[in-house]
Amino acid sequence: MERITKEQVRHVAKLARLEFKEEKIEQLAYELDEIISFAEQLNELDTDNVEPTSHVLDVRNVLREDEVKPSLSREETMKNAPDQKDGQFKVPSVLE
């Protein structure tokens, strides 16, 4: 059963601004069809007693409280700057 047609491959290639020779389009249609067949096999699995997860490992964000800590003053930070203006680093323009 053909799920992906050559016309669909051509359409997606056009949207992605890609060009393929006819042999490659046939190959891609076949490979995409095989991928869909494999994915359909997953539908056969019994997942009724499996909890949904977003990650296979139990991952949690480790956050700390925001605390004000001593840091360098603006003057101390800027004293080694090669070029500065109004308390900010001045760098060469990258846009014309």
Query: For the segment 26-51, what is each residue's pLDDT rounded down to a tens digit?
Result: 999 999 999 999 999 988 888 889 88
Please report the pLDDT score of residue 17 as a whole number: 96
Nearest-angstrom CA–CA distance, 23 and 27: 6
Q: Which fold has domain 6-42?
A: Histone, subunit A (1.10.20)
Residue where the block lists tokens 């997942």: 47
- 0.75 exceeded by pTM: no
Identity (one letter) of the amino acid at 86? D
Nearest C-alpha neighbor of 2 from the set 35, 29, 38: 29
Burial of 46 (0-12, 13-18, 19+ CB in 10 A): exposed
